[in-house]
Amino acid sequence: MGCSNSKQAKPETMAGRKFLVGGNWKMNGSKAMYKELLAGWNAAEITKAVEVVIGVPAPYLDFVRTEMKPEFAVAAQNCHNAEKGAFTGEISPGMAKDCGASWAIIGHSERREFFGETNEIVAKKTAFVVEQGLQVIACVGEKLADREADKTMDVINAQMKAIADEVKGDAWSKVVIAYEPVWAIGTGKTASPEQAQEVHAKIRAWLKEKVSEDIANATRILYGGSVKPANCNDLGKCADIDGFLVGGASLKPDFTTVINADQS
């Protein structure tokens, strides 16, 4: 099923939002594996106007920046919100940048769930990382219990409010929001295009009401949660879906099919 609310029906609100396809390799892979994967991607034909951003485990940022074609950007999967200091095990945005990253994924649900990142921490990191010169994919999304209790938008609005309390004015041009329902991550259960579109439209409406109409129209909102070649075309056509953040399927050669997804 496609989205009844398609982009063609709403061209006036697009405000130059370039489609963005993010990969998130999480804690997977090795130099040998990346080398093989990237050789295929580097040779593949990219037929769409699309920005590609790959979330790479920190030790491999430099390696992937060297191996991957320059048109595709490298993202850190997390950064600490300090320039330097006694934070054993953390990396700063400056370090990620020094190793070739131009983006960071912040507030992924796995960071929130397993590493105790609260809405406030995620928001502070988002603002700090932008200040340090990287672009940010900031993640929001509800758990299954939230959805079942009809609390999806309460949870997401609180996550968005925390971000909007820290990110001001021009900094929004460096922030992309990824809506990732936690129940759809790594489970094979994708939100239907209608379910995703509904939440994306509500996030954009929230931005319009609480931040500004211009920022609401210009901010890209990605969908994440079991996106793969088989479902990317239907999702990509929805009016308020401006791209994807992809986990499992971004570790495969045919991720280029998702990069070339229908975005009309």
| 32-to-8, 99, 211 alpha-carbon distances in Å | 42, 19, 45
Q: Applying CB under 6 A, which of residues 149, 186, 209, 264 lies at the interface with ligand PGA?
A: 186
CB 63 to ligand PGA: min, Å: 21
Q: Applying CB under 6 A, which of residues 123, 227, 241, 259 lies at the interface with ligand PGA?
A: 227
AA identity, residue 246: V
Q: Which residue is nearest to ligand PGA (CB)?
A: 247
d(CA 149, CA 109): 19
d(CA 209, CA 16): 20
CB-nearer residue toward ligand PGA: 129 or 222: 222
d(CA 137, CA 118): 16
Per rule CB under 6 A, is residue 226 in the interface with ligand PGA?
yes
Q: Where are the alpha helices (DSSP H) in 23-175?
A: 31-43, 61-67, 93-98, 109-114, 119-131, 144-148, 152-166
Count of chain residues binding ligand PGA (CB under 6 A) = 13
Site stretch for ligand PGA (CB under 6 A), options 2-10, 29-37, 121-129, 246-254: 246-254
d(CA 47, CA 262): 10
CB 8 to ligand PGA: min, Å: 27
CB-nearer residue toward ligand PGA: 94 or 229: 229
Which positions are catalytic? 108, 180
Mention every residue, 6+ apart, whose C-beta is less than 8 A from residue 244: 20, 21, 22, 222, 223, 224, 227, 232, 235, 236, 258, 261
Site stretch for ligand PGA (CB under 6 A), options 33-41, 76-84, 142-150, 247-255: 247-255
CB 244 to ligand PGA: min, Å: 8
CB-nearer residue toward ligand PGA: 107 or 224: 224
- Decide: residue 62, CB within 10 A, 0-12 exposed, 13-18 middle, 19+ buried: middle
CB-nearer residue toward ligand PGA: 96 or 245: 245
Binding site for ligand PGA (CB under 6 A): 24, 180, 185-186, 224-227, 245-249
